[in-house]
Chains A and B, each alone.
Chain A
């Protein structure tokens, strides 16, 4: 679906369908994410963006379709196996363990194989604020600090595929811009990144491709500049 050369595709969804109970919410999603690039998945509330990410991360089993990561079919794999294999999803709004300290949160990231020393070092280098608060429970951090902690995990474990759900939720615009700077930089280091956002402007600035999802289907894919008009149509129905 994208113009990228086939061998570079790190993540591919082929005709993925998914349902909650009896109700289908993804009606055949096709999407590709090339290595070393940022793909933005945009769409109105309830379009199924978060569900798509949950399916990719192995938290929600699709009813049909194929999921291919780095050339291997992984449909049906478990979330923890995928996480240890280099996938990292920062879920929307609640990416930290509230009753664990900052340090213990980072310790959880070591299940991917990184050493605690390395995780702490990268995290504190990116977000010095976290170092001051390393003994504080994460639930008492500010919203922005929590999001930083969640991001710190995503960056410290050196994932091959990073999935970000509404990174900007509840954050000041200036922090959002800062975070997307980092996202772009991580992508340049070779990581494939899929970003879900509602408010498109900031993310379109760093995205290489964008896909628009409406009612459980991808309705358009293209370069960010081509899609601006489609976006307003998708959101406003006009």
Chain B
């Protein structure tokens, strides 16, 4: 009985913290339509700040609490709203997701920058660990206070939302934002209030974890995934149900500890090592099941999106991969081995990012699990690609495709953030549980080998007798593999299947009414994407030569998704951008300029946050910037000649690496104004300009869509339809 009570109290305390965290999340989501993946990171930051004031500087607890919860956290919330979230109106779900994920990354980076993660930090629970006796079980005041705080938060939120006009206005904004404005309510103020309260609640939950949990930026930030499950049980809307959800999860985690011991006496399976790390996966499994079983409320803000990806031309893509392979071969000839490894990483990561192009870019299905599939690909290569057998790659693709299809089935009815959360739950489940398992047998005959609770070796490929074990060969292999898969993705985009994916992104309902097989299409694209990620992971494993579970953790996967979206998720250039920038930020630049390494921790986050301004991604912007160069023969000639000269100079050892790099950069940048000088307006360009004359070649059905109707169009149509103008407008027009 007393163990029961002990665990009950532990469970209630955990549930109370989840409830506080989850209610803040629900509040910001419902009032602003932004699902804040960084909610946990805000809580983590609050906990660190509190530690700083309370334990490092020794301030009294009430003052430290007041400063963090009533001043810093609300101000940060207001800052978030004004500086970032406000710009997200009218952007796609993927963009919003990336912005909040980037915020998460930036906050974790900043915390690791300010508070050295290698240092141990003393924390203590409130009330100096004192407690009281409750039916023979010791309850600390900290635990009692935590539960009371959760109840107070529930009552307080209820009061704010139903009794204060500002709270009523927040609910009104959820219902109908324009109408709230027509009533004279300032929706920006409602949003600011929501963010202020939300951040304060996040910080409160982070602080309440102190004393029971180590102060670690990553762990604290991801604890919120457990609160997501609670929020989902509340359908992201109902606060009472959210509290109930928190209760279920908190108690499930606590009782697992008791009953596992009890059950293990009767059922052998419960003593197995497979379940040692299972407790940490309970919440995400509940999250997955809840997402799967409960009907999903309609997503908010499903409006027209601002992003646009043109169809890639086959010729342009061939030129692109040609440049990529030639560039990789050339650069790798002159760099050190460690830089060759970095370069090989660019392509392996680029392939993993490519897996997102058909899935997220074309089909509009968000997945946060691509690095997890890469992990599966890497272990497959490790165990089935012995001696560099290319069959290992094939197995990686097939196994990942199979698992991808399996994951797709429950995910079929999800979209937007629900899908993102389901894939995140899958990734976190692998990360916290499956990837840490020892080798095991399924159904007594099927051996599953994973990371063997450590790291496993991956042999580099031998293709048709060609050994790729040298770093330089890895670069070329990576570039070729990336190029082939990129071309495949381009071909896919131009195929019938690609058009179906795009159609599905635009409107699933319309596709279904047209008789398209949505289930088949979705499962296929999930499997395909997983297979690409698996191949990428297998090659990545080869570059690294040894892989462990940590390399494929959920949190490490976030930058790939982030940077791919920033680069432009609908284009292969975007995936390349993700590969390059990830390698640049994580290994190359810190190597070259060590003093920047802290700043680089938060750069991916800052880049992602900037996405709100250009939802089509950086690559499209860069493309536009270089448009005059591409359209001028003079500029292209100049570029080709100068680059050839630079290649010759470098090859004859006339200039060194860095001058080569800068010379190439200068030539590239200079070609743009040259292009502008010699630009002769190509007819195609004129047609693209909005408002171009009626003479421009636009298919009739696009008139009014890519450019507005003109009187001339109307007259032409009238003529074609045999209606006279007088008939159309009556006497009124004359």
Contact status A84-B184, CB under 8 Å: yes
Which residues 67-122 of A sit at the B interface, judged by CB distance below 8 A?
Answer: 78-80, 83-84, 88-89, 91, 94-100, 104, 107-112
Contact status A108-B172, CB under 8 Å: yes
Contact status B732-A110, CB under 8 Å: no
Contacts of A214 in B (CB 8 A): 729, 732
Residue of B nearest to A230 (CB): B732
Contact status B730-A237, CB under 8 Å: yes
Q: How far is the CA of A19 from the CA of B691 in the complex (A)?
A: 12
- Given contacts A153-B183, A219-B732, whether A22 and B175 have CB atoms under 8 Å apart is no
Contact status A95-B732, CB under 8 Å: no
Q: How far is the CA of A78 from the CA of B186 in the complex (A)?
A: 10
- Given contacts A91-B182, A110-B165, whether A212 and B708 have CB atoms under 8 Å apart is no
* Contact digits for B707-734, partner A, Cβ 8 Å, 1 yes 0 no: 1110000000000000000011111110
Contact status A79-B172, CB under 8 Å: no
From the candidates A19, A78, A91, A237, name the one contacting B179 in the complex (CB within 8 A). Answer: A91
Q: How far is the CA of A7 from the CA of B375 in the complex (A)?
A: 75
Contact status B169-A111, CB under 8 Å: yes
Contacts of A179 in B (CB 8 A): none
* Contact digits for B375-400, partner A, Cβ 8 Å, 1 yes 0 no: 00000000000000000000000000
From the candidates A91, A94, A108, name the one contacting B185 in the complex (CB within 8 A). Answer: A108
Contacts of A6 in B (CB 8 A): none
- Given contacts A80-B185, A98-B175, whether A219 and B729 have CB atoms under 8 Å apart is yes
Contacts of B180 in A (CB 8 A): 80, 97, 108
From the candidates A57, A80, A89, A98, name the one contacting B187 in the complex (CB within 8 A). Answer: A80
Q: How far is the CA of A69 from the CA of B709 in the complex (A)?
A: 31
* Contact digits for A51-63, partner B, Cβ 8 Å, 1 yes 0 no: 0000001110000
From the candidates B174, B181, B304, name the one contacting A78 in the complex (CB within 8 A). Answer: B181
Residue of B nearest to A154 (CB): B182
Contacts of B185 in A (CB 8 A): 80, 108, 111
Q: How far is the CA of A24 from the CA of B690 in the complex (A)?
A: 11
Q: How far is the CA of A112 from the CA of B186 in the complex (A)?
A: 11
Interface of B is mostly: helix
Contact of A172 with B by CB under 8 A: no
Contact of A174 with B by CB under 8 A: no
From the candidates B178, B181, B708, B733, name the one contacting A22 in the complex (CB within 8 A). Answer: B708
Contacts of A59 in B (CB 8 A): 178, 181-182
Which residues 693-718 of B sit at the A interface, judged by CB distance below 8 A?
Answer: 704-709
Q: How many A-B residue pairs have CB under 8 A?
A: 101
Contact status A99-B171, CB under 8 Å: yes
Contacts of A111 in B (CB 8 A): 165, 169, 183-185
* Contact digits for B171-206, partner A, Cβ 8 Å, 1 yes 0 no: 110111011111111110000000000000000000
Q: How far is the CA of A154 from the CA of B517 in the complex (A)?
A: 49
Contact status A233-B707, CB under 8 Å: no
Contact of B214 with A by CB under 8 A: no
Contact status A80-B184, CB under 8 Å: yes
Contacts of A223 in B (CB 8 A): none
Q: How far is the CA of A220 from the CA of B176 in the complex (A)?
A: 34
Q: How far is the CA of A99 from the CA of B162 in the complex (A)?
A: 12
Q: How far is the CA of A94 from the CA of B705 in the complex (A)?
A: 28
Contact of B168 with A by CB under 8 A: yes
| Residue of B174, B184, B185 most packed against chain A (CB within 10 A) | B184
Contact status B184-A99, CB under 8 Å: no
Contact status B730-A97, CB under 8 Å: no
From the candidates A98, A112, A233, name the one contacting B183 in the complex (CB within 8 A). Answer: A112
Q: How far is the CA of A19 from the CA of B730 in the complex (A)?
A: 25
Contact status B183-A99, CB under 8 Å: no
Contact of A234 with B by CB under 8 A: yes
Contact status B175-A99, CB under 8 Å: yes
Contacts of B690 in A (CB 8 A): 22
Contacts of A89 in B (CB 8 A): 182
Q: How far is the CA of A212 from the CA of B731 in the complex (A)?
A: 12
Contacts of A23 in B (CB 8 A): 704-705, 708-709
Contacts of A21 in B (CB 8 A): 304
Query: What's the nearest-Cβ distance from chain A to residue B306, in Å?
Result: 10
- Given contacts A110-B165, A233-B732, whether A91 and B178 have CB atoms under 8 Å apart is yes
Contacts of A104 in B (CB 8 A): 168, 171-172
Contact status A100-B178, CB under 8 Å: no
From the candidates B176, B184, B691, B729, name the one contacting A83 in the complex (CB within 8 A). Answer: B184
Contacts of B176 in A (CB 8 A): 94, 97-98
Contact status A97-B172, CB under 8 Å: yes
Contacts of B178 in A (CB 8 A): 59, 79, 91
Contact status B706-A79, CB under 8 Å: no
- Given contacts A100-B171, A219-B729, whether A83 and B165 have CB atoms under 8 Å apart is no
Residue of A nearest to B728 (CB): A237
From the candidates A19, A98, A108, name the one contacting B169 in the complex (CB within 8 A). Answer: A108
Contacts of A110 in B (CB 8 A): 165
Q: How far is the CA of A83 from the CA of B706 in the complex (A)?
A: 35
| Residue of B168, B171, B180, B304 most packed against chain A (CB within 10 A) | B168
Q: How far is the CA of A83 from the CA of B183 in the complex (A)?
A: 6
| Residue of A58, A96, A108 most packed against chain B (CB within 10 A) | A108
Contact status A234-B730, CB under 8 Å: yes
From the candidates B184, B691, B705, name the one contacting A112 in the complex (CB within 8 A). Answer: B184
Contacts of A58 in B (CB 8 A): 181
Contact status A83-B181, CB under 8 Å: yes
Contacts of A109 in B (CB 8 A): 183
Query: What's the nearest-Cβ distance from chain B to residue A150, in Å?
Result: 9
Contact status A108-B708, CB under 8 Å: no
Contact status A22-B706, CB under 8 Å: yes
Q: How far is the CA of A21 from the CA of B706 in the complex (A)?
A: 10
Query: What's the nearest-Cβ distance from chain A to residue B158, in Å?
Result: 14
Contact status A220-B732, CB under 8 Å: yes
Query: What's the nearest-Cβ distance from chain A to residue B265, in Å?
Result: 51
* Contact digits for A31-58, partner B, Cβ 8 Å, 1 yes 0 no: 0000000000000000000000000011
Q: How far is the CA of A93 from the CA of B190 in the complex (A)?
A: 25
Contacts of B165 in A (CB 8 A): 107, 110-111
Contacts of A112 in B (CB 8 A): 183-184
Contact status B186-A94, CB under 8 Å: no
Q: How far is the CA of A49 from the CA of B706 in the complex (A)?
A: 24
Query: What's the nearest-Cβ distance from chain B to residue A101, in Å?
Result: 9
Contacts of A24 in B (CB 8 A): 708
Query: What's the nearest-Cβ distance from chain A to residue B72, in Å?
Result: 29
Contacts of B181 in A (CB 8 A): 58-59, 78-80, 83
Query: What's the nearest-Cβ distance from chain B to residue A44, in Å?
Result: 11
Query: What's the nearest-Cβ distance from chain A to residue B600, in Å?
Result: 38
Contacts of B691 in A (CB 8 A): 22
Q: How far is the CA of A37 from the CA of B175 in the complex (A)?
A: 33
Contacts of B731 in A (CB 8 A): 230, 233
Contacts of B706 in A (CB 8 A): 22
Contacts of B704 in A (CB 8 A): 23
Query: What's the nearest-Cβ distance from chain B to residue A235, in Å?
Result: 10
Residue of B nearest to A86 (CB): B184
Q: How far is the CA of A109 from the CA of B187 in the complex (A)?
A: 14
Contacts of A80 in B (CB 8 A): 180-187
Q: How far is the CA of A19 from the CA of B168 in the complex (A)?
A: 33
Q: How far is the CA of A161 from the CA of B534 in the complex (A)?
A: 63
Pairs A–B under 8 Å by Cβ, sample size 15: A22-B690, A22-B708, A79-B182, A80-B184, A83-B182, A83-B183, A91-B178, A99-B171, A100-B171, A104-B171, A110-B165, A111-B165, A214-B729, A215-B729, A220-B732
Q: Which residues of A contact B (CB under 8 A)?
A: 19, 21-24, 57-59, 78-80, 83-84, 88-89, 91, 94-100, 104, 107-112, 153, 212, 214-215, 219-220, 230, 233-234, 237-238
Complex A-B, nearest 10 residue pairs according to Cβ-Cβ distance, in ascending order: A233-B730, A111-B184, A83-B184, A219-B732, A79-B181, A97-B175, A84-B184, A108-B183, A80-B181, A112-B184
User: Other than the known A97-B175, A237-B727, what 6 A-B pairs have Cβ atoms closer than 8 Å?
Assistant: A59-B181, A80-B182, A80-B184, A91-B178, A97-B172, A234-B732
Q: Which residues of B contact A (CB under 8 A)?
A: 165, 168-169, 171-172, 174-176, 178-187, 304, 690-691, 704-709, 727-733
